[in-house]
Amino acid sequence: MIMMEKRWLGAFPKIGIRPTIDGRRKGVRESLEEQTMNMAKAVAQLFEENLRYPNGEPVQCVIADTTIGGVAEAAACADKFAREQVGVSLTVTPCWCYGTETMDMDPSIPKAVWGFNGTERPGAVYLAAVLSGYAQKGLPAFGIYGEDVQDAGDTSIPDDVRGKLLGFAKAGLAVALMKGKSYLAMGSVSMGIAGSIVDDRFFQEYLGMRNEYVDMSEFVRRMEEGIYDDAEFVKALSWVKENCKEGPDNNPAQLQTSRDKKDKDWETVVKMTLITRDLMVGNPRLAELGFAEEAQGHNAIVSGFQGQRQWTDHFPNGDFLEAMLNSSFDWNGIRAPYLVATENDSLNGAAMLFGYLLTNTAQIFADVRTYWSAASVERVTGHKLDGHAADGILHLINSGSATLDGTGRQEIDGRPAMKPFWDITKEEAAKCLEATSWRPASTEYFRGGGFSSDFLTRGGMPMTMSRLNLVKGLGPVLQIAEGYSVDLPEHVHNALDKRTDPTWPTTWFAPVITGKGAFSSVYSVMDNWGANHGSISYGHIGADLITLASMLRIPVHMHNVAEERIFRPRAWGLFGTDNPEGADYRACQTFGPLYK
């Protein structure tokens, strides 16, 4: 449909593959040409078969026209990569090459080198030499070297090498996909939440993004002047009435709104959803209606809606627009999610963006609301927590902005999951909607009314919670907690849920405890969490987040990822190997933000 055609401006970045070779002619180079180029082709096939862009299409790779034996061929490759819009660079070789003559010198493109582990030619020697050159020049690069020796004619990619290649490529593509896009702030600071103080230096220097701003009065203007597709509004409202079931009103009788007011609120929140999407990515239909400027949008890959309180004290809240846009389906069918941060928390929006670009799945936005110890649960309910929840749980709950994918009604191999939109069936989307009720907003919080989604996330999903924080004098830092969603007996969930606002969506989350540092207990995870919000991704993606953070020069101050899964540029080891967390801080400070 037309909206998908407008969704992503320009071409997606490609992965460039640089086959480097020993430049000595009259025997040496000639004997290596086929093997070297075959390495490049094998990696291109690996990437194209396993990685996809956010629209579902396979990732595209570009291979240098020739193997690269010296500076002239390196320059020709760089010229081709620039023409082809390459955003990620991988060098492969089975042999010794001339390091500074063949290396990729582009400072803003993530880069890695795979040195073939074979005894016939010294690929590992080149790998070590060129990585030292990258460190010396301040261009951090990832080193990939297989654990087991391969025969010269072996064209397979070992599992350990494969894992590092894919991890590097996923993170590198995330870096490239963010570059040049926008964070759109709709409104300003919500209720004094520091995360909604949008820091343009962070977005510009660390993510390569620009910042766009609109006042929330723009929503009033567009609604009053009809700057939206009225035909789509009619279609959307009809779909909402059929698919979005309204739940009971929990407000005291004297604060409940009339049926007429609720019906008008539904019309308003649907219009707000259309307007938010159009503000983010534009809508060609608006140009046909005479609004050419508004049709352009802000090229926003992520946005934030302030809402509270200036908007929500008078107008319906933003829970519906946030929840529906953050989901992988609406009245136009199954599609990629739009990322919208509640309360314009741009830092949690950035964490949502990281998780989305690494997984192509929708993200749960939630308050990190309450730590429930096993003893507290047993005292209140008589139930003894077990399984993943045995050490206690975190109550993740926000006012209805979380993606409906977070219900866990999609499945992989019969288990609850959250999937890329191209793998979601119509039946699964319907189940997510069926598992959600739309509760009239708590008018003590939202005087202007509206509706909040209410659902319970199914247990058993591997999940990763992350959050970006800014520290004066230090800059951005990232925290990561891998864990699982958990099921509680119905009476236990009800007893705990009703102690807060039961009209909001709940995820019971049990982080994996390592017995060390911030992960010595579930309580310490809560006690060390850096802000009131977190972004929750499907899957254990902590290692990919760490790789991505190192590319952006953002240190990770808290994580429970096993050391053997962590993959950072080789230069990080030069800052110390005994304390990787401290080395991460020193490396990020030394190299500085990627786009500074």
Query: pLDDT tens digits, the chain, 596 residues: what are they?
Result: 334 456 788 899 999 999 999 999 999 999 999 999 999 999 999 999 999 999 999 999 999 999 999 999 999 999 999 999 999 999 999 999 999 999 999 999 999 999 988 877 777 889 999 999 999 999 999 999 998 888 878 888 999 999 999 999 999 999 999 999 999 999 999 999 999 999 999 999 999 999 999 999 999 999 999 999 999 999 999 999 999 999 999 999 999 999 999 999 999 999 999 999 999 999 999 999 999 999 999 999 999 999 999 999 999 999 999 999 999 999 999 999 999 999 999 999 999 999 999 999 999 999 999 999 999 999 999 999 999 999 999 999 998 889 999 999 999 999 999 999 999 999 999 999 999 999 999 998 999 999 999 999 999 999 999 999 999 999 999 999 999 999 999 999 999 999 988 889 999 999 999 999 999 999 999 999 999 999 999 999 999 999 999 999 999 999 999 999 999 999 999 999 999 999 999 999 999 999 98
Closest by CA to 340, choosing from 309, 367, 306, 316, is 306
Distance CA 305, CA 89 (A): 36
List b or e across 223-260, with b for residues whose CB sees 16 or more CB atoms inside 10 angstroms. beeebbbeebbeebbeebeeebeebebbbeeeeebeee
For 105, counting Cβ atoms within 10 Å of its Cβ (0-12 exposed, 13-18 middle, 19+ buried), the class is: middle
Bridge partners of 342? 305
What angle separates helix 346-359 from helix 200-207, to the nearest 10 degrees?
A: 20
388 appears as a binding residue in the annotation: no
Residue 177 · residue 86 · CB < 8 Å = no
Both tokens of 569, joined, read: 């540029």
The alpha carbon torsion through 555, 560, 565, 571 (nearest 10 deg) reads 20
CB contact set of 55 (below 8 Å; sequence gap of 6+): 4, 7, 8, 12, 336
Amino acid at 343: E
> How many Cβ atoms are within 10 Å of 198's Cβ, its own excluded?
21
Bridge partners of 142? 112
CB contact set of 453 (below 8 Å; sequence gap of 6+): 319, 320, 323, 400, 401, 402, 404, 436, 437, 438, 439, 504, 505
For residue 132, give the 3-state DSSP assignment. helix
267 appears as a binding residue in the annotation: no
The whole-model pTM stands at 0.96
DSSP string, 137-160: TT---EEE--SS---TT-----HH
Task: Sheet with 210-214: list strands edge to edge.
Answer: 210-214, 182-186, 300-305, 340-342
Tell me, what's the pLDDT at 296? 95
Catalytic residues: 343, 367
Residue 556 · residue 480 · CB < 8 Å = yes
Amino acid at 6: K
Closest by CA to 341, choosing from 332, 349, 350, 353, is 349
Tell me, what's the pLDDT at 2? 36
Tell me, what's the pLDDT at 6? 64
343 appears as a binding residue in the annotation: yes
Tell me, what's the pLDDT at 116? 84
Tell me, what's the pLDDT at 382? 97
For 508, counting Cβ atoms within 10 Å of its Cβ (0-12 exposed, 13-18 middle, 19+ buried), the class is: buried
Query: How many DSSP H helices and E strands does the chain contain?
Result: 19, 22
Domains and CATH numbers, the chain: 14-178 (3.40.50.1070), 182-591 (3.20.14.10)
List b or e across 568-582, with b for residues whose CB sees 16 or more CB atoms inside 10 angstroms. bbbbbebbeeeebee
Closest by CA to 446, choosing from 342, 318, 269, is 318
